[in-house]
Amino acid sequence: MPGQHVLDQPLALHPRVALRPEPFGALAYHYDTRRLNFLRSHALVALVRSLSDHASARAAFDATGLDAARWPAYAKALEALIASDFIEPRPIGSNNTSQELA
């Protein structure tokens, strides 16, 4: 959708990404690009995991009860994850497309 902000789109964790819980949040591994990423808060991990249940990232922000003052920081984190392909837009109408790998 041209012109639409990426956070207004339906998003999901890339199906080839696995999350491993860690004391600081989670370690993300992308099986296709073989890249590691650090999700550095538990709130961010919960948000990322919930993306596929919501129509957009903003809806997911709302649902997790995240303080609006912290939205910009989390939006920035999500944009970085999109840029590195850990999170991707999902087709409209689909949900729960993410899948945990062993």
Partner 1 sequence: MTALTEELKLGLDAPICLTWELTYACNLACVHCLSSSGRRDPDELSTEEAKAIIDEMMKLQVFYVNIGGGEPMIRPDFFELVDYATTNGVGVKFSTNGSRISPERAEQLAAMDYLDIQISIDGADAETNDRVRGEGSFQTALDAMDNLRNADFGPFKISVVVTRENIGQLDAFQALAEHYGAELRLTRLRPSGRGVDSWHELHPLPEQQVDLYHWLLAHPMTLTGDSFFHLNALGDENLPGLNLCGAGRVVCLIDPVGDVYACPFVLHDEFKAGNVRDEGGFAHVWKESDLFTELREPQSAGACSSCGMFDACQGGCMAAKFFTGMPLDGPDPECVSGHGEAALTNVGVEARPQSTSNHSKPVIVSLGPTRV
Residues in contact with partner 1 by the rule CB under 8 A = 18, 20-24, 27, 29, 31, 34, 36, 38, 40, 101-102
Rounded to a whole number of angstroms, the minimum distance from the CB of residue 55 to partner 1 is 30
Mind giving me the DSSP string for 43-94?
HHHHHHHHGGGSSSHHHHHHHHT--GGGHHHHHHHHHHHHHTTSEEE--TT-
Rounded to a whole number of angstroms, the minimum distance from the CB of residue 99 to partner 1 is 12
Rounded to a whole number of angstroms, the minimum distance from the CB of residue 28 to partner 1 is 10
Rounded to a whole number of angstroms, the minimum distance from the CB of residue 95 to partner 1 is 24
Given the complex with partner 1, which of 5 and 70 has the nearer CB atom? 70
- Tokens representing 74 are 């989390």
Report the relative pairing of strands 11-13 and 35-39 from DSSP bridges.
unpaired
- Read off the amino acid at residue 15: P
Given the complex with partner 1, which of 31 and 80 has the nearer CB atom? 31
Given the complex with partner 1, which of 19 and 57 has the nearer CB atom? 19
Given the complex with partner 1, which of 31 and 94 has the nearer CB atom? 31
Question: Which residues, at least 6 apart from 14, have a Cβ–Cβ distance to it below 8 Å?
Answer: 30, 32, 85, 86, 87, 88, 98
